[in-house]
Structure 1
Amino acid sequence: MTHAELVFVPIPAIGHLISMVEMAKLLVDRDPRLSVTVLIMKLPFDADVDSYTNSLATSVAATRIRFVHLPCENIGTEILGSFLTDFIESNKPHVKRAVAELVDSASSTQQLAGFVLDMVCTTMIDLADELGVPSYVFFTSSAAFLGMMLHLQLLQDEHHVNITEFKDSASELDFPSFTNLLPAKVLPSVVLTKESVRPFLEHAKRMRATKGIIVNTFDELEPHAVRSLAGLGAPAVYPVGPILSLNGETKEKDIDGHRGDDIMEWLDKQPPSSVVFLCFGSRGWFGEDQVKQMACALERSGHRFLWSLRRPPLSKGQVEIPSDYADPAEVLPEGFLHRTASVGKVIGWAPQAAVLAHRAIGGFVSHCGWNSTLESLWFGVRVATWPLRAEQQFNAFELVVELGLATEIKMDYRRDFRMESGILTADEIEGGIRKLMEEAGSESWKKVKEVSEKSRKALTEGGSSYLSLGRLIDDILNNMPLI
């Protein structure tokens, strides 16, 4: 039996890396003919990624997944420049060398079947072409966002539209991947900034040349968006989600070595569906003025709360790595922790999946990162949207308006690329929290519970994502180059 070896190239951002490793597990668990080599590009500054990658050797039991750590490139950390592009380009020689060694060491029954590339690693397609093997893209965001990228790339390259003119525009745009008009104000900053729009949309152009795009979504969540992709010139699309990392997210340590025991013990003492959980992802943080408004809103709302509060990064203008406060009282209103001690808990890092799974959680104030969105839906927890950066504004619009699965605190708040939207007031935040927590039984709340059931069925035998994964495996094996 010929074994097909796939080379995975994720970017070392924790949200991308974890979901690609989980994808590798799905493939090798499903078909004994497949094995995966994951190439780990090394960042010089991210402790979360370091901790996760160091744990992989022991946490991943699959004998047909192996990890190759590439040398660290010492490049700058400015997020406003071409950091990511430069970082990926600097790693291409390392990837080429690692794959050459893999091919040289392969047994007579092993064959290189192709590359599976992160959605922002599309320039690595050149390496696959050199080796004469196919490329696939792993898309870590929604089908609707993939549709947006493909549509904007066509507008830019074929209709000569200057996409950056939508910045600060009040117009509403017609996107094939949405049934509703999309406000220009929720487009991601990366397409509204002249330095970044062309390289970003170049990824969409390169994706068209691949054998297929693997999307972390499922048909039942985004039926219209998934159907729209063929008309936008996408190659084969495989919705195989939700791909989540849930195993091991219990009371034990998470990827960065923290322990969540005291958090879970506190939740155990709370009534069912009574706690609002505030958590803003691995890059989520706020300045002191905004923190005080959030505290005021929580206290006035009267609802029980669990608040993951992170310290801003030490250096402004660099890749944002928040940390935990030694004492959160230093940024909170005087007496806040004492006054709310009976109903609330302020923490640093949070074991997010374990918290969302807990019966005490009744709502989730979220930045709307796609992984967090899929986790909240999996556990049937309704979201109040407070996006910060990247495509999160777009995700918030999809959740609130397109899918009717969330309520809004704010949809067009943003903080990346210096496109600051100011501070949300305590009144705005309190209103969102009250709407989130006091609408149990609403149509939106019922829809979240229904989608939760559908997300689980999609992965079971005969489910939509199960069948899509089977098609992907068949295509991988059929697209292998002839020896």
Structure 2
Amino acid sequence: MLAKGHLVPAVELAKLLAARDEHLSIRVLLYKLHFDADADSYMQSLLSENTRRVQYVQLPDRPPQIPKDAVPNYPMLMGGIIESQKSQVREVLSELKSRDSGAPKLAGIVIDMFCTTMIDVANEHEVPAYVFYTSTASMIGLRHHVQTVLDGSDESADLREFSVSTYVNTVPSKLFPPVWLNKHAPYAHHTRRIISESKGILVNTFSELEPYAVAALTNNPTVPTIYPVGPLIDLKAAGKDNPKGDTIMKWLDTQPPSSVIFLCFGSMGCFDVSQLKEIAHAVENSGFRFLWSMRKPPGKEQHLAMPSEYDDFGHVLPEGFLERTSGIGRVTGWAPQTQVLGHPAVGGFVTHCGWNSVLESIWFGVPMAAWPLYAEQQMNAFSLVKEVGVAAEIKIDYMKDAPVLVGADQIEGGIREVMEGESGIRKKAKELMEKARNALVEGGSSYSSLGRFIEEYSN
């Protein structure tokens, strides 16, 4: 497992499996990401939490396998890191298989959706490979559909709007990153292997959230068995004892119920100064209480750097904004997102629609205003706004780094739709909260799905 957004739900899955199957022992293999201090810190905390049945193993550093003279980008670096670890994973599996006859039998491996090269290692050891899909069930159907079209074309496909079995509505291709329509891109390779070579797919979702998608995939004979096992959320998220987090939570304690709009765009979400000023005008003009988590973009020459903290928010916000809003709002850098969303003062969430953030918001019944930035977030936003009805739209076709400025009026409109009155969005959020929690208890849909997975690998 690599990026923190993929690792956290995988760890929760490991804990859940260990709790359900007393005969199961799990090893979670980790690789240090030197450019992501937050992920590395989380990995280090895991290494101190080893138990007899759930053990975390940090693999030795290996230089990424990337072409000489290539300018590294994030997908290339991730692919190179994963490829460089195949020999280490082989050693771990060989050690597990060579233990004496009284030791637990190796039942299989669960790999991240971007680690499909490890299917080779599973095949070498003659054990099944299951994929842990940290996105939506709908996305599996979409990627499978696009891949089928691409494989029947020469290079790339001209897809403008089309129907996919996992979506109720037609899907506009303007929501796709261009790389998705390139049959030679790494994403295409992962999709092929997930569909054609994995034994099953564990998805961080629940049937009540995506009933149409889960049914479509379950009834598709070309797709491996689907196991919706979510929502997988770390409710004891690291950072809750951070002094900055304590200050934020104490401020929320002084606010009325459901009165605060929370703006947070994930660990990689950031904007340039002109866009920050539009957000500030929108927040101020709305008049709502607010908590805004703002991150500083890395320099343009820093291809793989993560956003960082601002030294002074006043340098990038409209003159006098902090003073004028000091009575109703707070601007901060890092914020303990899970704890904030769980606070009764929070009444709405302006989000980049990263899937972990979406599931946390649903878990706490907080309605969303959708403003996706990159990767599959546009399709997540499409689902939340058009399919599920649990989010208002700010701009669901926004693409990070595109020359587009989202105006203050448009942002304010999304905030108002979420925060004003007992909207249908707010009612839907509360209904989904109950369904999400019921899915994980005995008799719930995800509880039962995990039971089917346990039966599968046990046999």
Question: What's the TM-score, normalizing by structure 2?
Answer: 0.94
1:413-469 residue CA offsets vs partner (Å, 9 max, x unmatched)? 012xx5x1411111111111112211x322222111111100000000010000001
CA distance change for structure 1 residues 351 and 189 in 2, over 3 Å: closer, same or farther? Answer: farther
Corresponding residue to 1:429 among 411, 415, 418: 411
Corresponding residue to 1:270 among 255, 263, 282: 255
3-state DSSP of counterpart to 1:110: coil
3-state DSSP of counterpart to 1:324: coil
3-state DSSP of counterpart to 2:250: helix
Residue 326 of structure 2 corresponds to 341
Equivalent residues of 2:372, 2:381 under 8 A apart:
yes
Listed as ranges, the matches of 1:336-415 within 5 Å are 336-415=321-400
Equivalent residues of 1:44, 1:72 under 8 A apart:
no
Equivalent residues of 1:78, 1:317 under 8 A apart:
no
Residue 290 of structure 2 corresponds to 305
Shift of residue 190, structure 1, vs aligned partner: 3.3
Equivalent residues of 1:250, 1:354 under 8 A apart:
no
1:82 counterpart = 2:76: yes
3-state DSSP of counterpart to 1:82: helix
Query: 1:52, 1:259 → 2: CA distance?
Result: 18
Shift of residue 44, structure 1, vs aligned partner: 2.4
Amino acid at match of 1:210: S
Query: 2:244, 2:20 → 1: CA distance?
Result: 32
Shift of residue 102, structure 1, vs aligned partner: 3.3
Amino acid at match of 2:132: F
Corresponding residue to 2:138 among 128, 139, 144: 144
Residue 216 of structure 2 corresponds to 228
3-state DSSP of counterpart to 1:310: coil
Equivalent residues of 1:164, 1:197 under 8 A apart:
no
3-state DSSP of counterpart to 2:404: coil
Equivalent residues of 1:155, 1:161 under 8 A apart:
no
Listed as ranges, the matches of 1:194-343 within 5 Å are 194=182, 198-208=185-195, 209-229=197-217, 230-231=219-220, 233-248=222-237, 251-253=240-242, 259-316=244-301, 318-343=303-328
Equivalent residues of 1:242, 1:374 under 8 A apart:
yes
CA distance change for structure 1 residues 52 and 107 in 2, over 3 Å: closer, same or farther? Answer: farther
CA RMSD of aligned residues (A): 1.9
Amino acid at match of 1:324: E
3-state DSSP of counterpart to 1:291: helix
Residue 432 of structure 2 corresponds to 451
Q: Comparing 368-377 with 199-208, which one deviates more in the overlay?
A: 199-208
Query: 2:443, 2:75 → 1: CA distance?
Result: 46
CA distance change for structure 1 residues 355 and 475 in 2, over 3 Å: closer, same or farther? Answer: same
1:129 counterpart = 2:123: yes
Shift of residue 320, structure 1, vs aligned partner: 4.1
Equivalent residues of 2:50, 2:56 under 8 A apart:
no
Residue 165 of structure 2 corresponds to 176
Q: Comparing 292-301 with 389-398, which one deviates more in the overlay?
A: 292-301
Corresponding residue to 1:56 among 34, 46, 52: 46
Query: 1:334, 1:128 → 2: CA distance?
Result: 58
Amino acid at match of 2:259: S
Equivalent residues of 2:237, 2:338 under 8 A apart:
no
Query: 1:452, 1:80 → 2: CA distance?
Result: 34
Query: 2:220, 2:349 → 1: CA distance?
Result: 35
Query: 1:325, 1:94 → 2: CA distance?
Result: 39
Corresponding residue to 2:445 among 464, 471, 474: 464
Residue 35 of structure 1 corresponds to 25
Query: 1:414, 1:110 → 2: CA distance?
Result: 48
1:321-352 residue CA offsets vs partner (Å, 9 max, x unmatched)? 01111221111111111110000000100110
3-state DSSP of counterpart to 2:319: coil
1:142-177 residue CA offsets vs partner (Å, 9 max, x unmatched)? 0001111111121122x32754534xxxx3211111
CA distance change for structure 1 residues 281 and 232 in 2, over 3 Å: closer, same or farther? Answer: farther
Shift of residue 78, structure 1, vs aligned partner: 2.7
Equivalent residues of 2:167, 2:387 under 8 A apart:
yes
Instruction: Calculate percent identity across the aligned residue pairs.
Output: 50
CA distance change for structure 1 residues 227 and 26 in 2, over 3 Å: closer, same or farther? Answer: same
Amino acid at match of 1:201: A
Corresponding residue to 1:160 among 153, 163, 173: 153
Equivalent residues of 1:137, 1:214 under 8 A apart:
yes
Query: 1:55, 1:414 → 2: CA distance?
Result: 34
Residue 3 of structure 1 corresponds to none
CA distance change for structure 1 residues 165 and 83 in 2, over 3 Å: closer, same or farther? Answer: farther
4+ residue segments displaced more than 6 Å: none
Query: 1:458, 1:318 → 2: CA distance?
Result: 40
Equivalent residues of 1:251, 1:264 under 8 A apart:
no
3-state DSSP of counterpart to 2:108: strand
Query: 2:221, 2:329 → 1: CA distance?
Result: 48
Corresponding residue to 2:15 among 22, 25, 30: 25
Query: 2:431, 2:185 → 1: CA distance?
Result: 39
1:377-402 residue CA offsets vs partner (Å, 9 max, x unmatched)? 00000000000001000000000001
Shift of residue 91, structure 1, vs aligned partner: 1.4
3-state DSSP of counterpart to 1:165: coil
Shift of residue 315, structure 1, vs aligned partner: 4.9
Question: What's the TM-score, normalizing by structure 1?
Answer: 0.90
Residue 7 of structure 1 corresponds to none
1:185 counterpart = 2:178: no
Size of the aligned set, in residue pairs, is 452
Residue 481 of structure 1 corresponds to none
Amino acid at match of 1:123: T
Gaps of 5+ in 2: none
3-state DSSP of counterpart to 1:270: coil
Shift of residue 316, structure 1, vs aligned partner: 3.6
Residue 5 of structure 2 corresponds to 15
Shift of residue 81, structure 1, vs aligned partner: 6.4
Equivalent residues of 1:42, 1:73 under 8 A apart:
no
Corresponding residue to 1:98 among 92, 109, 120: 92
1:17-57 residue CA offsets vs partner (Å, 9 max, x unmatched)? 11101100000011111111111122222101110011113
Query: 2:92, 2:403 → 1: CA distance?
Result: 44
Equivalent residues of 2:179, 2:185 under 8 A apart:
no
